[in-house]
Chain A
Amino acid sequence: MTLYLKDVTKRFGKTTAVDHLSLEIPEKEMFGFLGGNGAGKTTTFRMILGLLDITEGEITWDGESIGYSKSHLIGYLPEERGLYPKLKVSEQLVYLGKLHGMTRRQVLQDLSYWLDRFKVPEYKDKKVEELSKGNQQKIQFISAVIHKPKLLILDEPFSGLDPVNVELLKEAVVDLKESGTSIVFSSHRMEHVEELCEHLCILQKGKQVVQGSLREIKQAYGKKNVVIHADFPLAFLQQHAGVVQYKQLMDGCALKIDREEVAKHIYSELAGKGFVRKFELEEPSLNDIFIEKVGASYE
């Protein structure tokens, strides 16, 4: 049940929201969608769900396009959260669950499980408008997963939650993945994507700038960080070949180098100069990659 996007383009009048996007989202994986505001993430999700027509290209899941006949296999947490403010949590979920082909009893059973899991069993008979925003979000999340979808699309699932609740939700997402759900999610928070996803893509103004598995992306990026703590001045490293960026720290420096080889050279050069307390070669963070790929165009 791999989800393929082939050359998908969406134009609204003259603006191109998504530009020739091609992706492969493997089954039972978590796929991260990164992008600045207005990069086309939500539009892409809406196209995957069939809410918007595709201008060009094709989206297939398990070899077929996604229609309403499959909606019971798909869960969706939209970016703009929305529930019926006047309905009780249980009524709400029974209704949404029924639309996903569940029976009332199934919904109520699973709802208790989820409410317990999120440590809010007392909300079952409360009206949604009485809940705090973060708690509404938990309910919304439950509504997206209660029918045990095969494909789960989460648009900014962790925004607006406190760290404790982020952990609760993250665990739930990981469990769903373990139990065989393919998950596509978007986020502004690099660390979440880095922590959860094997594959990801970075969108910028509708175009994909980076795509692939996390490791490949990092390797392809090439640049690495070196952190050195030493008892002697390190400023001379600024002139060293292959050093792209130099940042002075309290007791040393942080370097950005354009390939791993450079680290070796620096290491041998430091030897004999004095005592080195720390020499560390770090993988680049997704944050670095994102800022360079996306941020470049802002400048």
Chain B
Amino acid sequence: MNKFWTIASHTFLTKAKSKTFIITTAITLAMILLVGNIQSIINAFSDNGKDKVAVIDQSQSYYPMLKDSMAKNDDIELVPFKESIEKAKEAVKDDKYDALLELRTNEAKLPAATFYANNIASSSIQEHLQEKIQEIKTAIATNQAGLDQETVQKIYAPVEFDKVALDKSAKTEEELNQARGIVYIMLFILYMAVMLYGQIIATDVATEKSSRVMEIIISSVSPITHMFAKISGIAALGLSQIILIVLAGYAMVTMKKSELVGGVFEFFGIQHASVKIFIYAIVFFLLGFLLYATLAAMLGSLVSRVEEAGQMVMPMTLLIVAAFMIAMFGIGMPDSKFVTVCSFIPFFSPMVMFLRIGMLDVAFWQVAVSLVILIVTIVVMAIIGAKVYRGGVLMYGRSNAWKGIRKAIQLTKNE
């Protein structure tokens, strides 16, 4: 056990002290800070004043209506322009105004408009104005048709559409939204963790092997201990990075709560999620990571040179991508047969079963069976992995995954 900790902490510390780790963590944190403050940053860069839009009203009646409906908008200031349209265009060109809006009445006696600006790439002003003019048009058109405002509002009001699950234990709409958020987050984190740290594990093993320090290490500690210590060290590294990022994200969200209300945060519905689902998330995350990490370590032990490690983890990458795709598809239709079957297949189950737990009311025995299959697979993988690892670390030469595994196991066999 002592050696286990020595290796795990050595792995953790050398990686945590490495420039790559510090830099990537710093960049990720900076990104979170950036994204969290994106609104303030955009505001800081846009010229503080409002966008001034000159308005020439040919109809003589639409301008006040537009002015009224734009009253709440702080970003756009409408200024009536009394001179000719040519002069107005000149003024825009000279940057006296940001844009020019010409309002007129068309043949159908409805409002129409032309928007002039030095360039029409920046769409937010146009969209705003278009939207408001659309409202005015709707009001006038319905008025002409003899409809009163109340009727119009009735027409445009969203239809009442309630969803009721008859199964008492099925999730309510609200619960589903909350679950979906956690499922998304867990899937992404597991996916990222496997891709990133799986690669790190494989590379690390390959590095020790190619620098030939492995032979000394495994002469003093068993390859199995070494493999799991390595996995634990890197898992600890990964978890601390993830926790750091999640904390930063959480702090950001809490600080900016007012800005984000109704936004991403609510969509992911983390505030109200149940404890149970968090526990399942952690259990499936850890088991899933362990399974993939064992695979990564095993594959890493088969290469002779570090450069080959990336190529060798291909099977692992394919599996996790497949699992991720199935899970993404499954969020849309969690009760399909295919998803149900996949939720028992070991390399997919950490993602797919968790998604089913989140989205559906899955019988506990199903979860238990899936977990047992997963754990058994991990144990089997660990046994095979340790065998391959033991032979693999002594094996040099050109590598090929399947041949390598066969050869490595043969190397440890007693005939």
Which residues of A come within 8 Å of B, CB atoms?
A: 11-13, 46, 49-55, 68, 71-72, 74, 76, 78, 80-85, 87, 95-96, 98-101, 143-144
- Asked if B413 and A84 make an inter-chain contact with CB atoms under 8 angstroms apart, the answer reads no
- Asked if B410 and A99 make an inter-chain contact with CB atoms under 8 angstroms apart, the answer reads no
How far in angstroms is the closest Cβ of chain B from A153?
A: 9
- Is B87 in contact with chain A by the CB < 8 A criterion? no
How far in angstroms is the closest Cβ of chain A from B150?
A: 76
Interface of B is mostly: helix
Q: How long is the Cα–Cα vector from A49 to B222 in the complex, in angstroms? A: 11
Size bracket, chain B contacts: 20 to 34
- Asked if A100 and B215 make an inter-chain contact with CB atoms under 8 angstroms apart, the answer reads no
- Asked if A46 and B394 make an inter-chain contact with CB atoms under 8 angstroms apart, the answer reads yes
Q: How long is the Cα–Cα vector from A72 to B2 in the complex, in angstroms? A: 12
How far in angstroms is the closest Cβ of chain B from A147?
A: 9
Nearest to A72 among chain B residues (CB) is B220
- Asked if A71 and B394 make an inter-chain contact with CB atoms under 8 angstroms apart, the answer reads no
- Choice from A52, A87, A100 contacting B14 with Cβ under 8 Å: A87
Nearest to A83 among chain B residues (CB) is B213
Chain B residues with Cβ below 8 Å from A50 are: 219
Task: Indicate whether A98 sits within 8 Å of B215 (C-beta atoms), given known contacts A11-B415, A68-B221, A71-B220.
Answer: no
- Asked if B211 and A84 make an inter-chain contact with CB atoms under 8 angstroms apart, the answer reads yes
- Choice from B10, B14, B212, B220 contacting A81 with Cβ under 8 Å: B212
- Choice from A53, A55, A84, A98 contacting B213 with Cβ under 8 Å: A84
Task: Indicate whether A53 sits within 8 Å of B413 (C-beta atoms), given known contacts A78-B215, A82-B211.
Answer: yes
Nearest to A46 among chain B residues (CB) is B394
How far in angstroms is the closest Cβ of chain A from B363?
A: 44
- Asked if A143 and B222 make an inter-chain contact with CB atoms under 8 angstroms apart, the answer reads no
- Is B216 in contact with chain A by the CB < 8 A criterion? yes
- Asked if A82 and B212 make an inter-chain contact with CB atoms under 8 angstroms apart, the answer reads yes
Nearest to B393 among chain A residues (CB) is A51
Most buried by A among B6, B220, B411, B415: B220
Which residues of B come within 8 Å of A, CB atoms?
A: 2-3, 6-7, 10, 14, 208, 211-222, 225, 390, 394, 410-415
How far in angstroms is the closest Cβ of chain B from A143?
A: 7
How far in angstroms is the closest Cβ of chain A from B388?
A: 14
- Choice from A13, A76, A78, A99 contacting B221 with Cβ under 8 Å: A99
Nearest to A43 among chain B residues (CB) is B394
A-B CB contact pairs (8 Å), 29 listed: A12-B410, A13-B410, A50-B219, A51-B218, A51-B219, A51-B390, A51-B394, A52-B411, A53-B413, A53-B414, A54-B414, A68-B220, A68-B222, A71-B219, A71-B221, A74-B219, A76-B216, A76-B219, A78-B219, A81-B212, A82-B215, A84-B211, A84-B213, A95-B6, A98-B6, A98-B10, A99-B221, A100-B220, A143-B216
Give 16 new A-B contacts, CB below 8 A, not counting A71-B219, A72-B220, A76-B215. Answer: A11-B415, A13-B410, A46-B394, A51-B218, A52-B394, A68-B220, A74-B220, A76-B220, A78-B212, A78-B215, A83-B213, A87-B14, A98-B10, A99-B7, A99-B221, A144-B216
- Asked if A99 and B413 make an inter-chain contact with CB atoms under 8 angstroms apart, the answer reads no
Nearest to A147 among chain B residues (CB) is B220
Chain A residues with Cβ below 8 Å from B216 are: 76, 78, 82, 96, 143-144
